[in-house]
Amino acid sequence: MTEFLHHSEEPISRFVLLDHMDWMSSYHPAALVEEWNAILQRARPGARILLRSAQADPSFLQQIRVGAANRPLSALVRFDRKLAARLQRRDRVHTYAGFMIGNVPG
């Protein structure tokens, strides 16, 4: 995904991310930071990010630091936890414990 984002020039308004970030946070944290930096660089203002995780509350959202200012990801993307929790209850597949909805400030 990171490679695609590095070679894409068009702004992207929607991202759907599955649980690959769970294992990246444990085994390849630098690659996870690189991917989030690429997402944020390519995201159009107001972009929406849907993220599935094996964790109900993925710790990497608060732990990794991204962007030129090296800030926590959770400080750069606004996660709508109430909406995500409401929609997670309606999920009929129940494959993932965590569902996050993030909005890139516009």
Band the pLDDT of 91: cuts 50, 70, 90.
confident
- Within 10 A of 76 (CB to CB), how many other CB atoms are there? 17
Does the pLDDT at position 92 exceed 90? no
Residue 66 forms part of a structural domain: yes
The 10s digit of each residue's pLDDT in 24-51 is 999 999 999 999 999 999 999 999 999 9
pLDDT band at residue 95 under the 50/70/90 scheme: confident
Tell me, yes or no, whether 5 lies in a domain: no
Give the pairing type, strands 98-103 and 43-53.
antiparallel
Predicted TM-score (pTM) of this structure:
0.92
Domain that holds residue 74: 13-103
In a domain, 97, yes or no: yes
How many structural domains is the chain composed of? 1
7 assigned to some structural domain: no
Structural domain contains residue 2: no
In a domain, 20, yes or no: yes
The answer to whether the CB of 104 falls within 8 A of the CB of 77 is yes
Half-sphere exposure of 99 (CA within 13 A, CB side): 15
Distance CA(21)–CA(49), nearest Å, equals: 13
Decide if 4 is inside a domain. no
